[in-house]
């Protein structure tokens, strides 16, 4: 490590500490409420993802059925 990088470390740490302090002081909700909101949003995302996966499976099944029908016509 050169002196150039070592001299930047205190500034980085000071900026990090300032950012953490501002985030704690400016947080709009308490810790418990924030955790609850994160959990709620995660559950919403999970439900949305499940719906998307189900729709994707249905689409693939319908495409597969169509291909199966086309193959039967070609073979027959």
pLDDT in tens, 16-28: 999 988 887 887 8
What residues make up the domain containing 64?
3-75
Which pLDDT score, from 0 to 100, does residue 44 have? 96
Model pLDDT for residues 16-72, shown as the tens digit of each residue = 999 988 887 887 888 788 889 889 999 999 999 999 999 999 999 989 888 888 888
- pLDDT value of residue 2: 55
Please give the angle made by the CA atoms of 59, 60 and 63, to the nearest 5 degrees.
Answer: 85
Distances (CA, A) of 24 to 19, 33, 40, 44: 9, 14, 22, 26
pLDDT of the residue at 17:
93
Predicted confidence at residue 3, as pLDDT, reads 65
Count how many domains the chain has: 1
């Amino acid at each position: 490590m050169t002196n150039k990088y070592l001299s930047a470390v205190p500034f980085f740490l000071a900026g990090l500490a300032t950012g953490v302090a501002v985030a704690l002081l400016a947080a709009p909700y308490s810790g418990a409420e924030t955790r609850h909101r994160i959990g709620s949003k995660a559950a919403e995302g999970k439900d949305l993802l499940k719906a998307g996966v189900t729709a994707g499976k249905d689409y693939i099944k319908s495409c597969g059925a169509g291909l199966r029908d086309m193959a039967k016509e070609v073979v027959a």
